[in-house]
Amino acid sequence: MKHYRNDTWTLDDGLGLGRAGDQVARMVLEVEPPFTVGVTGKWGSGKTSVMRRAFATLGGRPIEQPLMLAKDSGLEVGSEGWETWVHSNPNRIKTLAWDPWVRDAAEGSLCVWYSPWQHQNELNPLVPLIGEIRAQFTAWLKLQQVLSGFNRRAGLAVGTLLERMVDVALSLKLGQPGQVVSGTLGEMRKAWRAGADDDGLTAASDGQRFHLLFEDAVTELLKARAGGADLNAGARLVIFVDDLDRCDGSVAVRLLEIVKLYLGTRRCVFVLGLDGSAVLDVLRTHRSHSEESNREYLEKLFQATVSVPLPAQPQVRDAVAGQLRLHGIPRGLSGDLDIQTKTNQARADLAADIEQLLEPNPRKIKNFVNSLCAAWGMHDCSRWIATSEHYYAETTRFVLIQYLKQFHRPVWRLIERQPNAIEILRSELTVEHVGTEPKRRSRERGLLGEIFFRAFCHVLEGGSNSDDPTAPLRHGRQTLDEAVTVTLERRDRNRSDTIFRKIFLASFDGDHSIDLRHIYLVAPEEPLPPLPDSPVSDPTP
């Protein structure tokens, strides 16, 4: 088992988001194309994992990537876990509680994954997008060649058609007609050339013809996907577009326009992952200064929006407790069953405190717990905390110190240089405040007290208001207008700091100062025996 969790996407993250991915998969089969779904969530919320889960549920495959030092292409990072998940979930669609017609639609559909930020230097986003459709269809075609009776010739024809469509997409940008493959789309070729001879040809009419061409190409692709069988009425091409908000603003706006104007066909569904606030900022810069206008624009583009839900509390606590166990946090040295029961309960309580301390964001949860475990090992806490008279409480104090290091760096820098300042911090978190000043504060504590108060004034009673109801609202020594930016940045931290204050006051009582081993590294000694309540780590690299 891995002792540290990475931040790559996952099909089963253990945080309860898999169900959201399954719902997105079902939704794209039940909508009436053309349809665009927005999967929204802030940075680190798990948008990619939700979309990858939907992609895999619908039969999508890991994407092939060219390897610089190898003759053949390799699979993307995470493909090993993908295969493990697929093998552990055989006939997944059949096991889901979906209507038969929905399962039939899934069997006849094809999914494509597209990351626009990898192609954002392209002047025309249509070119790499269609190229990606062709590449992933070709990869799928290779997998199907082992099946008897598959119409390989039809599949190759579709690959050629998509290759020619890249030329057509290029011609759109140049304002000239492109070459269209003959055969099944011969009539479309004639119409395109006829339009080229029309002096009154406009960019909009170019777009309309490309729209029809793309619609026919998707139909031919799905017919090839059916392998000669009748095309299912619900069959569709589902294109997942991830990390749109990572792109340069102009690229993101162009791609949104392309989806709306060129690619909205009757057998095509788009699933776009994005941070709604970030996209609004982009539109404000590259489209309109009116937020209302930009919101209406997005509402017209997206027929539905699925917000990534917060990770479930029980799953977060279980995941945190599992990682703490691997690192012996906390550690009970005795093999006595009663001691181990108490240790397990203390670990569960600690995991619950951590879950409450942190913003419910998968990326931030992983980052904090990974950092905590690394610091625990670096400070050799399993030795000196485990032998402490109150090692459960000392473990909690260690977690609180790590919280200050990560989320209140200025506060921690002062405590690191002046450890006894922890008493002043406790005093500031304890005393009631009126307006912006505490009722009592000694001169020698004035500077540190002011800094600590300003760090936590948003969660202290009376810390941001005055007794005078006519006085302007204030935040510390700032006016409300001056503090808006700070307030917005800290709104997600309010809950965390409130919990921190509660745990801190309970853990650092009036007679307890910070143990210097929280700050300085202890000298190494003889190694401890293996943890009695966790498996022995594999010594092999």
The residue among 307, 314, 312, 323 whose CA lies nearest residue 366 is 323
- Are 347 and 376 in contact by the 8 Å Cβ rule? The answer is no
| Residue 64 pLDDT | 61
How remote is the C-alpha of 94 from its chain's centroid? 28
- The verdict on 23 and 137 lying in the same domain is yes
Give per-residue pLDDT as tens, 464-484: 544 444 444 444 555 433 444
| Residue 522 pLDDT | 67
Give per-residue pLDDT as tens, 256-276: 888 888 888 889 999 999 888
- The verdict on 259 and 376 lying in the same domain is no
| Residue 200 pLDDT | 36
- The verdict on 378 and 437 lying in the same domain is yes
Give CA–CA dist 112/125, Å, rounded: 15
- The verdict on 266 and 334 lying in the same domain is no
The more confident residue out of 355 and 192 is 355
Give CA–CA dist 324/344, Å, rounded: 10
3-state secondary structure of 137: helix
| Residue 421 pLDDT | 87
| Residue 279 pLDDT | 84
- The verdict on 48 and 130 lying in the same domain is yes
Question: Is residue 225 in some structural domain?
Answer: yes
Give CA–CA dist 291/271, Å, rounded: 23
What is the DSSP pairing of strand 437-438 with strand 474-475? unpaired
Question: Is residue 146 in some structural domain?
Answer: yes
Give per-residue pLDDT as tens, 403-413: 999 999 989 99
CB burial of residue 525 (10 Å; 0-12, 13-18, 19+): exposed
Question: Is residue 240 in some structural domain?
Answer: yes
pLDDT class of 151 with cuts at 50, 70, 90: low
Domain range holding 158?
A: 18-60+78-307
The residue among 256, 310, 313 whose CA lies nearest residue 280 is 256
Cβ neighbour number for residue 434 with a 10 Å cutoff: 13
Question: Among residues 253, 286, 307, which one ends one of the domains?
Answer: 307
Output the average pLDDT for the chain.
Answer: 75
DSSP 26: H
Give CA–CA dist 343/340, Å, rounded: 5
Domain count, the chain: 2
- Residue 224, CB half-sphere, CA atoms under 13 Å: how many? 28
Give per-residue pLDDT as tens, 110-125: 899 998 888 777 778 8
Question: Among residues 287, 307, 327, which one ends one of the domains?
Answer: 307
Question: Is residue 303 in some structural domain?
Answer: yes
- Are 35 and 303 in contact by the 8 Å Cβ rule? The answer is yes
pLDDT class of 531 with cuts at 50, 70, 90: very low
| Residue 346 pLDDT | 87
- The verdict on 259 and 339 lying in the same domain is no
- The verdict on 406 and 428 lying in the same domain is yes
- The verdict on 237 and 323 lying in the same domain is no
pLDDT class of 447 with cuts at 50, 70, 90: low
- The verdict on 154 and 302 lying in the same domain is yes
Question: Is residue 371 in some structural domain?
Answer: yes
Question: Among residues 243, 277, 307, which one ends one of the domains?
Answer: 307
CB burial readout 60-84, b (16+ within 10 A) else e: bbbbbeeeeeeeeeebbebeeebee
The more confident residue out of 397 and 15 is 397
* Gyration radius from the chain CA atoms: 29
3-state secondary structure of 96: coil
- The verdict on 484 and 335 lying in the same domain is yes
| Residue 521 pLDDT | 82
The more confident residue out of 149 and 63 is 63
Give CA–CA dist 371/180, Å, rounded: 56
Question: Considering only 82-96, 125-139, 270-284, 350-364, which range has the smallest mean pLDDT?
Answer: 82-96
- The verdict on 301 and 329 lying in the same domain is no
- The verdict on 346 and 439 lying in the same domain is yes
Average the pLDDT over 187-213 and give the result.
Answer: 54
Report residue 404 as tokens.
Answer: 């200050």
pLDDT class of 489 with cuts at 50, 70, 90: low
Question: Is residue 526 in some structural domain?
Answer: no
- Give start and end residues of each alpha helix (H) in 491-540: 494-507
Question: Is residue 4 in some structural domain?
Answer: no
- Run of H or E including 474: strand 474-475
Question: Is residue 460 in some structural domain?
Answer: yes
Give per-residue pLDDT as tens, 335-373: 556 777 888 888 999 999 999 999 888 889 999 999 999
